[in-house]
Amino acid sequence: MYIRHFARKHGLYDYIRFNITVKAAQWNDEAWHWIVTDETGNQLRTRFLVSCLGFLSSPTLPAIPGIDRFQGQYFHTSRWPASLNVDHDFADRRIGIIGTGATGIQTTTALSKVPNILSLTVFQRTANWAAPLWNTEISEDQMVRYREQYGDIFKRCSETWSCFLHDADPRKSVEVSQEERIALWERVYHEPGFSKWLGVFSDTYTDREANALYTTWMEGKIRDRVQDPTVANSLIPDHGFGLRRVPLESGYFEAFNKPHVHLVDLKSRPIREISTHGIITSDGALHEIDVLICATGFNAITGAFSAIEWECRGGRPLTRRAGTDINQEEVWADDRPKTYLGIAAPSTPNMLMVLGPHQPYGNATRSIEHVVEVICDMLEYCKDNHYTYFEATEEAARDWTNHVIDAGSRGLLNEVDSWMTGVNKNVEGKTVRNIARIQGRKL
């Protein structure tokens, strides 16, 4: 509602084209402009091009044999049918969910509370940590106070590495007593928001012993909430807490205490294939379902770029899946981005990125504000000084990319496959690499 109000108030609808899929972007070396082509063949020429593709906008379906044979309804969570009425359309239906990342956890929680669903079966390949969100309604009086504090809130977000309100406790886990550790963990666990991920001791994600201490404590929280010990064991991840993005939930673990909610642990019996009426696991069991929901993530950060056919300076493709001249080396060879400040890249003149590779990782709505300000200043500078061309140098991109790699190597996060490290097991060839700047927006 707010975005629509803002767009109407400032007349932005006149400058927006909806339901347009960009197919290609070609740099004209002679005219010094970009030619953007949509899926219908229409073209737009522009001197400057700003990509706002989103880092989680290129969905991936599971690479499972037989998925096209399934005769029931199936869809990716990011393509949820707008006309779907869960209470009506899922009544007396058997629902299957593949995936237990952030979206899978949220979807499972929500659907477990729909009273008329016949059964809900969650197919879990990789267990993920999750922690309570503790969302509550905001009263009118509270909202008035929050509005008065907007300036202080935004300032605080700009000062933390994650651009959230939370910041790490400066003490180290191994330097305080067990009582002090538990006191902090209990406090942040029962606070709303990401404090149980970002507000813990400063060594939690850099020191193995510190991470192991917190991980063991969080394991206990799952066992406290899940009644069946076998199910609880399956829901406990085999990686340290916080080394992947931690989804927040409102009753996820309690969902598995309900008689109609079932967990299929794919580590012990992987999916063999999908049949016309369900999912067959390696033990030969057929799990019959009427609706299949794929919460199988995204080809994160670089995937949206790979979906476009880029022809950069000199005809070079940007990524390995794009471009028409296969004899030219990609600008991002082997799907490893090179950028300057996460905003510009070599061989892509006059192109700037919002939420591109190597930009700060964290609270995106706050961290991109700085990026947008830099881009606006850059375009204003070009306009005022009559510049029609700019490009990041190879040297500048190399130095920034090395800085991002160095920042990522200082912690434990890069030791775990996740979309934050550029890995999605549904996308062939993805390997661990640094695609986000872990140190946040501060230089």
Please give the Cα distance from 8 to 36 (Å, whole number): 26
Tokens of 275: 């049949």
Maximum CA extent, the chain: 69
Half-sphere exposure of residue 181: CA atoms within 13 angstroms, side-chain side: 19
What pLDDT, on a 0 to 100 scale, did the predictor assign at position 212?
Answer: 97
pLDDT of residue 215 exceeding 50: yes
pLDDT of residue 313 exceeding 70: yes
What structural domains does the chain harbor? 2-58+300-421 (3.50.50.60), 131-294 (no CATH)
Overall average pLDDT of the 431-441 stretch? 59
What pLDDT, on a 0 to 100 scale, did the predictor assign at position 429?
Answer: 59
pLDDT single digits (tens) 379-426 = 999 999 999 999 999 999 999 998 888 877 778 887 777 666 666 666
- pTM value? 0.90
105: number of Cβ within 10 Å: 24
SS3 label, residue 289: coil
Residue 199 φ then ψ, to 5°: -105, 20
Q: Which of 156, 215, 159, 206 is nearest to 185 (CA)?
A: 215
SS3 label, residue 377: helix
Tokens of 86: 């869960």
pLDDT of residue 67 exceeding 60: yes
pLDDT of residue 188 exceeding 70: yes
pLDDT of residue 372 exceeding 90: yes
Q: How far apart are the first and last CA of the chain?
A: 35
pLDDT of residue 147 exceeding 50: yes
Please give the Cα distance from 324 to 69 (Å, whole number): 33
Overall average pLDDT of the 339-348 stretch? 95
What pLDDT, on a 0 to 100 scale, did the predictor assign at position 433?
Answer: 58
Long-range contacts made by residues 406-411, C-beta under 8 angstroms, separation at least 24?
407/434, 407/437, 407/438, 407/439, 408/434, 408/436, 408/437, 408/438, 409/434, 410/206, 410/438, 411/205, 411/206, 411/438
SS3 label, residue 188: helix
What pLDDT, on a 0 to 100 scale, did the predictor assign at position 404?
Answer: 86
pLDDT single digits (tens) 93-123 = 999 999 999 999 999 999 999 999 999 999 9
